[in-house]
Amino acid sequence: MSWIRYAAACLAALVGVTAVCVPTVSAQAGGTYSFDMTIPLEPGGTWAIGAIWHFPWSDVVDDEPRLDEADARVVFRDDAGAMLYSRLIARHVLCNGDCHETDAAAAVIPAQPSARRAELYTIDHLGNAVELKAVRERSAYEPVVEILSPSAGQVLTDGTVIEWRATDADGDRLEYKVLYRPSVGYWQQLPLTGRTTDTRHVFTRSGWPADDNATIAIQANDGFNTTEATVTGLRVEGNLPPELYISSPQDGTYYGVRSIVILLAYADDPEDGDLPVSWESDLDGPIHTINWNDGSQGVHRLTASAADSGGLTASATVTIYIGVRPSPALFFPFACKSDHAGVRYGTATARSVTLTWVHASMSRRSWNSSDGSTANRGA
C-alpha cells in the first residue's frame, strides 16, 4: 500500500449520544499542499486547478521540472494579491508501449497558510507567467465533520461501519478521505479510501496489526480547505502471523564442496516489524552464519524460519545440492493416439509404442504405452 497523509480542524464528533470534542489541528499548521491540474494539449482546451488537499504532517515535496520540460506556472497569492509561492509545472508523460504527453499534471508543494488564491499561467521561453488560465480561491468557511461511528474503545472487525456527516457554511461540494492510524507496526497512517463523496465506509481488516489504540480519521475538503475528525482508542484483536521470503539460495542450486552458500531471508510481522531469521539444514542441523561453507556433501533441505512476539511463526524451504548433482530428468516430446486398432503414430498403427533410453547410471530405461493412455507419463 502507498501510505501516510493528512490534515485537520475543529469539530464535535458525535459517538452514539455522547458528544466528544476533538482537538483542533489547524489548517494553517504547515505541511504540504497536493493538487492536480489540467493543461490542455490543444489550443482552446479548458485549464483547471483541482482540489487542493492539505497534509499538515508531511514535509516531502516533489521536484520542480526543468525549464525545458515545463508547460505552465502555478502561483499562490495572499488576500492582498502578493505572491507567496511560484513554481513551474510539467504535464504528465504516459508510457504504455510508446510514451506520450497527457493534459494532466500534479504538484506537491509547501503549504501556504495565508494563501487565498491559486493561479495557473501559460509561460514564455524564460518560464515567466504570461496568461492567467485557471484560478482556485479559498472560501471563507472550512468544512465541519462529525464522526457518527465507530466509538472510542470499539473493536474494529470486518464489516464495522465507519460513518460520518459534514457541513460547509459556504455550500461547497465536499470530498472525503478515510484514514487508519495504527499505534503499532510500520505505518503512521494508511488510507482506507481514495477521494470519495460517500459518508459511509465498511471496514476490512486486511493486514492491519493487532492494536489497542488505533485511530480512524475522516478528512473533508471543500476545494481548498481541509479539516479532519478523529476517533481514538479503537481496538483490532488477533495477532497476525509473520511472512517470510527466501532471497538466497535459489531452489535447486548446485554448490561445490566448501563453496560459500549465502543465506538471505526476510521476515516481516504486522505487529513486530522485521524479525530475526534462523536457518537449519536437514542434514547438518542449525546454521549460525549467513556465509555457510561447511555444509556436508549431499542434498540439503534448508529451512528459514521466524517467530513473532505472540508465538506465531513463518517458514520457507529450499533444496540445494552440495558436491552432488541433481538427478537428471528426461522429457520426450512424443505424442500418440489410441483407437480401436491400437496406438496410432503418424500413419502407422500398432498395439503399443515403447521408448527406450540409457540412463546416466548406464541402466536401461523404457516406457510403454500398451494400456493405450497418453500424455505426461514418465519412467
Which domains, from first to last, does the chain contain?
Answer: 11-26+142-236 (2.60.40.10), 32-137 (no CATH), 243-322 (2.60.40.10), 330-379 (no CATH)
Task: Assess whether the previous peptide bond of 182 is cis (omega < 30° from 0).
Answer: no
Alpha helices in 148-252 (DSSP H): none
**Burial class of 242 by CB neighbour count within 10 A (0 to 12, 13 to 18, 19+):** buried
At residue 246, the pLDDT reads 97
CB 107 within 8 A of CB 63: no
In whole angstroms, give the CA distance from residue 199 to residue 264.
Answer: 46
In whole angstroms, give the CA distance from residue 55 to residue 219.
Answer: 10
Name 68's Cβ contacts closer than 8 Å, sequence gap at least 6. Answer: none
In whole angstroms, give the CA distance from residue 205 to residue 180.
Answer: 10
Cα separations in angstroms, 296 against 252, 277, 283? 16, 22, 7
In whole angstroms, give the CA distance from residue 336 to residue 311.
Answer: 55
Cα separations in angstroms, 144 against 176, 229, 233, 265? 12, 8, 22, 48
Interval 134-178: pLDDT, tens? 999 999 999 999 999 999 999 999 999 999 999 999 999 999 999
At residue 247, the pLDDT reads 96
At residue 218, the pLDDT reads 96
Question: Residue range 271-298: average pLDDT?
Answer: 95
Q: Phi and psi (nearest 5°) for 58?
A: -85, 145
pTM (whole model) above 0.85: no
Q: Which among 290, 288, 300 is positioned nearest to 266, based on CA atoms? A: 290
Amino acid at 365: R
Q: Phi and psi (nearest 5°) for 67?
A: -60, -40
Cell 521470503 locates to: 245
Q: Which helix (H) or strand (E) holds 48?
A: strand 48-49
Task: Return the bridge partners of 145, or none.
Answer: 166
Q: Which helix (H) or strand (E) holds 255?
A: strand 254-255
pLDDT confidence tier of residue 190, bands split at 50, 70 and 90: confident
CB 77 within 8 A of CB 117: yes
Residue 308 has pLDDT above 90, yes or no: yes
Question: Residue range 79-94: average pLDDT?
Answer: 96
Residue 322 has pLDDT above 90, yes or no: yes
Q: Is 67 helix (H, G, I), strand (E, B) or coil?
A: helix
End-to-end CA distance of the chain: 48
Cα separations in angstroms, 309 against 181, 278, 318, 344? 21, 15, 25, 64
Alpha helices in 59-139 (DSSP H): none
At residue 345, the pLDDT reads 43
Residue 350 has pLDDT above 80, yes or no: no
- Comparing 224 with 369, the larger pLDDT belongs to 224
At residue 26, the pLDDT reads 34
- Quote the mean pLDDT of the chain: 84
Q: Phi and psi (nearest 5°) for 75?
A: -135, 135
CB 237 within 8 A of CB 210: yes
Name 311's Cβ contacts closer than 8 Å, sequence gap at least 6. Answer: none
Q: Is 217 helix (H, G, I), strand (E, B) or coil?
A: strand
Residue 87 has pLDDT above 50, yes or no: yes
